[in-house]
Structure 1
Amino acid sequence: MHRPCDYRALAHPAAFLAPVLERQSLSDEAYAQSHLSRTRGWFHAPAGMATPPSDPPRADDSTVNIRRSVVLRSRQTATDEQQSKSVWNASVPVNRLPPEILLEIFQVLQAITEDVHDVWMVPSSYVFWPRLSHVCRAWRDVICNSAQLWRDIHVKGDLQWVELCLSRSREAPLHIFFHSGATLPDACDILSNHRHRIKTVVVFDTAPDTVSCLTQFFQPSMPMLEEFSLDAFNTFSDATCFSDSDIFPLLPALHTLRLGYAHIDWTSNAARKLRVLHLRDWTPPDDHLLSLHEFLSALQEFQALEDLNMDFAFPFETYNADGVRDVTGPIVTLPNIRSLYFLCPSHEEPSSPDIYHLLAHLRVPVSAKLHVYSQTQDHVTSSGEGGYLDTIPQDTDCLPILKSATTAQLWKQGFDCHCGEGQLGVDLEPMGDETQRWAYTPERAVDDFCTLFAKSPLVELAVRDMRYTEESWAQLFRTFPSLSVLKVKNESPGSDDDVEDGLLAALTPTAPDQATDSDPDSDDPVPLPNMRTMQYKGEWHEDTLSDLVHCLRARAARGVKLRKLTLRMFGRDPEDADGDARHESLLHELDELVEEPMVYADIPRPQMYL
């Protein structure tokens, strides 16, 4: 016998809770009026119905007006009926919703709590349907009779839970998540009779016998298995390898493979059909390493590959048995590739790391996303090697985004550029003694970035926590004169207005009487003549605002007035009456120098300052 539904115990979704609360605070007429334009019921009239005027014309002797009046009144009646139904639907308790709507809500809840975007992260929470099934009888009926809610099975210690899910999922495709290497063998025995409907297997925790148990579990075949993820950290074997001789032939539908502390046989015929391949944290024995040429030849056969992730798991060596470095190999073209991620271990030759030679042999479509995270050894930091030009080939045939990027973001030892769906991101990290300063200076990084993307038509640039000199800013503006949007964020502790001084000095043109912007031979053109939007976030300095006024006034005098200006600043003393008056005066001047109303906000100090 189920207890009566307690409406106070129902976890109303926001979409239903808000109208209920609003209904309690408004009269019937006010509530109906507030929902006229934005509420849609589940039993409403067809969408797109025109809303009639509140005062339709009165009928007269004219036939046209009479007909128009009848039509308008008919529409008014239909609209009133639609509004009435919408108001009623909005106030319906959740337990009285149609089963189809409840099921839709539950499926959305399931998708939110079981986001496996990062499959290596063990989910901190997921929906426990038995608990929700005790809310009320309506919820229980929907939950217990909806097979699709029971297809995600998290295997921990209680195997009775596994049996319950198998029973209620009926013939729905299954997604299995093993959280315990200790219970995995027994769970595999229970699941073995349902292997024909398993689509996903994710193993978060392993034991020394996990791989052998899974191999037996997959036999004689897993015809529907499409995704397999295994973290083999506790298998105590660096040689854990998946090849044609063991698991691959048992999984004919497999297209996604993610392995941690394990690897694949790159010459496997079955592996070549993979669309997603993620490998991480694997230190291969010497007898498993390929030469760069062998690896590239094998990779070329993966023509279906869409997503390749190699996280500290490079399967090749660039030195031969005689200690001679060989970086030759075939050019690899993967027509379907859309995502590439390389996390590269530190290299003894930072001026010529393995990742550079790997990328030099790839042809990455401009629509693909490529991210490179590369480490640099501490003992070479004094030379500044391992920078952007040492890591990324300056070859537009290899990386067409180098000549196509439209937006870019720069930060300390890294950048991120986009062209539509395409992306190139680079993060560099010096390894070793943190107190030793890497000789790869911000000025050198700017120079390398400009060299790499000199052919790109950048229109938007964002710079984060960088103390560039005036010359570095000027170099950026000369290299990318088509920039129309400039965003600068400076939240690093200990910042002063020197950063803004260099930026604003580089943006400020000479006075009109000293240079003629219309003269194509002018030696002093306006920096960033197309810039129309500027955003700045950083510490408040009175000099920054006054310098910005001077900069924008000089630009406006040369005919390049700013359209939008957004300032978000922290650290201003609101108790300083004199300073506050000067502040307001400067804001007023800035507002007059911008075409659209300027946006200014005092914001709290960033957490790093506290």
Structure 2
Amino acid sequence: MEQELLSNMIQVSRGETRTSLNSTSDLAFVNRLPTEMLAKIFVAFLSHQPPPYYLGRSYGISKDCHSWSLVVASVCRYWRDVALKTSQLWRRIYLTGDEDRAQLRIQQALRAKSLPVHLTIELEDDEQPTTTHPSFQTLEHTVKIFDLCFSGDVFSSEPPIKNATAWLERFTSLERLYIGDIRFSTRSPSPLWDRLTHLHVQTSSNAEAQNVLHLPDFPKLISLIVECNSDYGVQLDLPTLFSNAPNLIELILRIGNLAADGEATHERLERVSVYDFNTVHQESDTLLSRHFRKRSEHFLNFRYFAVLVARASPT
């Protein structure tokens, strides 16, 4: 019995040793690759972008990409040298209200140099984003994609970020914006709205969803995603929405109680998805169906899945 146990232990030890040797051999093989090729391999692991939206679920925070960069840089000295010189690895930054950690991440983000930056800030309770660090002002001119999330009490009377619209205007290169339960003003004209090409809003307030659907002029907006889990109704003014976003290509609405007013056509709109459509008022059901049937090759209405999807024809 003891001899059999000892034999099994030896076999396990041999297997672990072979695995270790193979790993070392693989690493040695990889380290013989040219620096440029190794850098491309590192970037390839980060090239897979998450879906632009997670309908019906909490938004996917992009923490892992930043962690991956740190892991790569800590494997060995050669990998560290390559990683630190590869600007693409440091383009995605994840920050919280933790002052010390935020300053460290901001310093690391400077390795992205002049490349566009994807910034994610996740706040809790009464946290405020770290904006006093000198390096943060540098980022304001390089951030093109911004995810701003709040995971505290969304029904708090005080907004988690005061004057959020004015604060976001400081990001002069911003093109894509995600806002998760952060109340902000869409009523007043703003240079921010003139620059955006993609806007995604998740909110628990029907009033906030209403504001987003009655945007000021968005001359460059091509994708609009609005999610609202409020039980109260949200009114959609189709002519106003289409007029304010003349270049809109994608419109995704996940609103439990949606009513639409007015008929309108949009020459550029290609992708339209309305979720939870089985709770829509009957009159808006008829209106939207009639509108999209005019311009679509395929009109699919899956009541079983409570999803309506229409794809407009290119002509």
* TM-score normalized with structure 1 length: 0.39
Deviation at 1:242, TM superposition (A): 3.8
CA contact (8 A) 2:260 2:287 kept: no
CA contact (8 A) 1:96 1:138 kept: no
1:151 partnered with 2:91: yes
Corresponding residue of 2:53: 118
Give structure 2 stretches of 5+ with no counterpart.
1-19, 153-157, 307-315
Which of 223, 226, 231 is 1:276 aligned to?
Answer: 223
Higher relative contact order (CA closer than 8 Å, sequence separation 6+): 2
Change beyond 3 A, Cα 1:163–1:241: closer
Decide which structure has the larger Cα Rg and report it: 1
Which of 195, 217, 220 is 2:140 aligned to?
Answer: 195
Corresponding residue of 2:240: 298
Change beyond 3 A, Cα 1:428–1:149: same
Deviation at 1:314, TM superposition (A): 5.8
d(CA) in 2 for partners of 1:283 and 1:241?
17
Which of 22, 40, 47 is 1:104 aligned to?
Answer: 40
Corresponding residue of 2:196: 254
Q: Secondary structure of 1:357's match?
A: helix
Q: Secondary structure of 1:199's match?
A: strand
Corresponding residue of 2:273: 341
Fraction of identical pairs, as percent: 18
d(CA) in 1 for partners of 2:146 and 2:303?
32
State the one-letter code of the partner of 1:218: L
State the one-letter code of the partner of 2:60: M
Change beyond 3 A, Cα 1:346–1:150: same
Corresponding residue of 1:212: 162
d(CA) in 2 for partners of 1:107 and 1:425?
41
Which of 105, 115, 118 is 1:162 aligned to?
Answer: 105
Deviation at 1:123, TM superposition (A): 4.6
State the one-letter code of the partner of 2:222: R
Q: Secondary structure of 1:153's match?
A: strand
State the one-letter code of the partner of 1:215: T
State the one-letter code of the partner of 1:339: R
Q: Secondary structure of 1:361's match?
A: helix
d(CA) in 1 for partners of 2:199 and 2:25?
37
Deviation at 1:197, TM superposition (A): 1.0
d(CA) in 1 for partners of 2:280 and 2:76?
65
Corresponding residue of 1:229: 178
Give structure 1 stretches of 5+ with no counterpart.
1-5, 18-91, 319-328, 363-394, 403-423, 431-610
Deviation at 1:199, TM superposition (A): 0.3
Deviation at 1:274, TM superposition (A): 1.2
4+ aligned runs moved over 6 Å, structure 1: none
Q: Secondary structure of 1:300's match?
A: helix
Change beyond 3 A, Cα 1:401–1:215: closer
* TM-score normalized with structure 2 length: 0.71
Corresponding residue of 1:470: none
Which of 377, 389, 401 is 2:298 aligned to?
Answer: 401
Q: Tell me the alpha carbon deviations over residues 265-308 of structure 1, each in whole angstroms, 9 at most, x when there is no partner.
A: 5444433531100000253877xx54x6xx12113312211110
Corresponding residue of 2:115: 172
Q: Number of residues paired by the alignment?
A: 266
Deviation at 1:427, TM superposition (A): 4.0
Change beyond 3 A, Cα 1:162–1:346: same
CA contact (8 A) 2:61 2:120 kept: no
Deviation at 1:8, TM superposition (A): 5.2
Q: Secondary structure of 1:310's match?
A: strand
Change beyond 3 A, Cα 1:241–1:125: closer
CA contact (8 A) 1:10 1:135 kept: no
Q: Secondary structure of 1:196's match?
A: coil
Deviation at 1:166, TM superposition (A): 2.7
d(CA) in 2 for partners of 1:11 and 1:242?
57
CA contact (8 A) 2:145 2:174 kept: yes
d(CA) in 2 for partners of 1:182 and 1:111?
33
Q: Tell me the alpha carbon deviations over residues 29-49 of structure 1, each in whole angstroms, 9 at most, x when there is no partner.
A: xxxxxxxxxxxxxxxxxxxxx
CA contact (8 A) 1:255 1:273 kept: yes
CA contact (8 A) 2:62 2:120 kept: no
Q: Tell me the alpha carbon deviations over residues 490-525 of structure 1, each in whole angstroms, 9 at most, x when there is no partner.
A: xxxxxxxxxxxxxxxxxxxxxxxxxxxxxxxxxxxx
d(CA) in 2 for partners of 1:401 and 1:429?
17
Corresponding residue of 2:285: 355
Change beyond 3 A, Cα 1:124–1:224: closer
d(CA) in 2 for partners of 1:310 and 1:222?
26
Q: Secondary structure of 1:176's match?
A: strand
Corresponding residue of 2:10: none
CA contact (8 A) 1:150 1:168 kept: yes
d(CA) in 2 for partners of 1:258 and 1:110?
22
d(CA) in 1 for partners of 2:38 and 2:95?
26
d(CA) in 2 for partners of 1:428 and 1:139?
51
Q: Superposition RMSD on alpha carbons, in Å?
A: 3.3
Change beyond 3 A, Cα 1:305–1:139: same
d(CA) in 2 for partners of 1:116 and 1:429?
20
d(CA) in 1 for partners of 2:21 and 2:185?
53
